């Protein structure tokens, strides 16, 4: 595949202050195609010293960018939407080269999602609003939402374009400037998006993109004294440094539409080779319908087309690399010791949390037992039960008779407990990139009836 898409046709350097530059001392790292295990290219690796330059650029240009009218900030963002759509083929091929997702699925899902998120937040430019209150005599009190300044954004490799948009779009429209660190496994689409950002006409220094590893690049960005906010999405291990990490399971009751439940959970765990944080990697199925659910799930699993990501007929490509594949296989082997392996369990072709196309099915007998074990989605035809369980699940997103979608840009997605802090998408996601300030505006003379203890000093 890479023979038809030579390295000379895409960018591999760091994007700092509107220029593509080599890293400090010319340090690089290698990107491999997970479908063929062949070397794709060498990408510039940002050292801790390289982090200073983009942060300084972002801090320098922040006053200009943040003081623009919000509608002015939306102009280059709308141009970027158009450019993303025009470059859909290249963006899809870059991500497929790096992390193995089929090109056709990337063109149908990830590219439109990336463009859609930028379009949504460009349209939200005039919705960055505070509140006002006249509840205190002789005071007009208001809240202001103001951008942080230079913010650091760290994204994962499993949906690079989507996560790029999730973080960059709201940060920019609020008036922040950004330094983004891409995932070392899939940096190429982020660099292409950087080139499109330059073409769209964003001022120099507003967006900077670094390639590199969590240590030292990510650590240097997160600890930088000029970075006012960090937004991070990544592995459970790293998230636990930030006291985060984790995901839940689907609960399938005995009155559920079994075919639909199997279809949704099957798609959830096989889409993107199971490499996404909302995948239903566990299913809790009522004991009375277990056999029927497993038969339907196995039938759907047998229909999955696994193969070359460049083939339009392929639904499921490879895992992101051999390390990920080996880890999944080892977990399947361990799991088979305690349970029954229904389908699969071995590598296709010759080539704690399972981040892959593996679903673990357990049973439950009553609602209370299910709620003690799961926190994701619920399948039932009982309306009262659906509402009751949805309220009881300790999760930021709950699907009722569906897996949690990523299509509703006007609704927030986010986690509770180990799954994260804050939300992305919607106006709630917008507010994550502003600081809240209250201003107390005194006018007139204090009423004589007001107790002196309430007077402002």
Residue 35 near residue 307, CB atoms below 8 Å: no
Which tokens is 251 given? 């609960």
Placement of tokens 């870059």 in the chain: 94
Query: Is 243 a known active-site residue?
Result: yes
Tally Cβ neighbours within 10 Å of residue 323: 10
Q: Which of 38, 199, 243, 365 is flagged as catalytic?
A: 243
Tally Cβ neighbours within 10 Å of residue 239: 20
Residue 196 near residue 168, CB atoms below 8 Å: no
Q: Is residue 315 left, alpha or beta, with left meaning phi > 0 and alpha meaning psi from -120 to 50?
A: alpha
Helix axes 70-86, 160-173, angle to 10 degrees: 160
Count of CA atoms in the C-beta half-sphere (13 A) of 243? 4
Q: Which of 277, 296, 402, 424 is flagged as catalytic?
A: 277
Q: What span, in angstroms and rounded, lies between the C-alpha atoms of 92 and 90?
A: 5
Which tokens is 343 given? 């389908």
Residue 123 near residue 67, CB atoms below 8 Å: no
Tally Cβ neighbours within 10 Å of residue 386: 17
**Cα angle for residues 147, 151, 152 (degrees, 5° grid):** 160
Strands 360-364 and 377-379: unpaired
Query: Is 98 a known active-site residue?
Result: no
Closest CA to 151 of 174, 121, 122: 174
C-alpha gyration radius of the chain: 24
Which tokens is 257 given? 């539409």
Q: What span, in angstroms and rounded, lies between the C-alpha atoms of 218 and 47?
A: 9
Cα dihedral angle (311, 317, 322, 328), rounded to 10 degrees? -160
Residues with a catalytic annotation lie at 243, 277
């Amino acid at each position: 595949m890479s023979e038809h898409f030579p390295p000379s046709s895409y960018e591999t350097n760091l994007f700092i202050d509107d220029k593509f530059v080599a890293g400090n001392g010319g340090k690089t790292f290698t990107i491999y195609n997970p479908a063929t295990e062949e070397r794709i290219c060498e990408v510039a690796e940002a050292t801790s010293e390289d982090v200073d330059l983009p942060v300084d650029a972002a801090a320098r240009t922040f006053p200009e960018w943040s003081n623009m009218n919000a509608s002015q900030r939306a102009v280059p963002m709308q141009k970027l939407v158009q450019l993303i759509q025009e470059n859909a083929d290249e963006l899809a091929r870059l991500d497929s080269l790096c992390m193995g997702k089929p090109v056709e699925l990337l063109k149908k899902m990830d590219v439109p999602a990336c463009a859609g998120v930028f379009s949504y937040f460009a349209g939200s430019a005039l919705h960055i609003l505070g509140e006002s209150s006249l509840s205190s005599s002789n005071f007009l009190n208001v809240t202001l939402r103001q951008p942080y300044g230079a913010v650091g954004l760290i994204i994962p490799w499993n949906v690079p374009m989507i996560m790029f948009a999730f973080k960059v779009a709201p940060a920019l429209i609020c008036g922040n400037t950004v330094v983004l660190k891409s995932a070392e496994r899939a940096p190429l689409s982020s660099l292409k998006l950087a080139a499109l950002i330059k073409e769209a006409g964003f001022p120099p220094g507003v967006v900077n993109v670094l390639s590199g590893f969590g240590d030292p690049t990510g650590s240097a960005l997160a600890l930088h004294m000029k970075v006012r906010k960090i937004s991070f999405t990544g592995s459970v291990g790293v998230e636990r440094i930030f006291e985060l990490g984790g995901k839940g399971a689907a609960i399938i009751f005995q009155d559920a539409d079994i075919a639909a439940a199997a279809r949704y959970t099957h798609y959830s765990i096989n889409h993107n080779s199971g490499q996404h944080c909302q995948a239903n990697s566990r299913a809790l199925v009522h004991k009375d319908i277990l056999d029927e659910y497993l038969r339907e799930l196995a039938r759907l699993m047998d229909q999955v087309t696994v193969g070359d990501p460049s083939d339009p007929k392929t639904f499921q490509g490879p895992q992101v690399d051999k390390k990920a594949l080996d880890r999944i296989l080892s977990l399947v082997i361990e799991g088979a010791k305690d349970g029954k392996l229904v389908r699969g369990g071995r590598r296709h072709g010759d080539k704690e949390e399972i981040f892959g196309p593996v679903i673990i099915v357990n049973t439950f007998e009553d609602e209370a037992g299910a709620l003690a074990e799961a926190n994701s989605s619920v399948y039932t035809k009982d309306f009262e039960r659906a509402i009751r369980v949805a309220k009881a699940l300790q999760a930021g997103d709950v699907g009722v008779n569906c897996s949690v979608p990523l299509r509703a840009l006007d609704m927030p997605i986010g986690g509770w407990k180990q799954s994260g802090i804050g939300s992305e998408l919607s106006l709630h996601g917008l507010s994550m990139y502003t600081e809240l300030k209250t201003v107390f505006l005194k006018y007139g003379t204090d009423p004589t009836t007001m107790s002196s203890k309430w007077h402002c000093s």
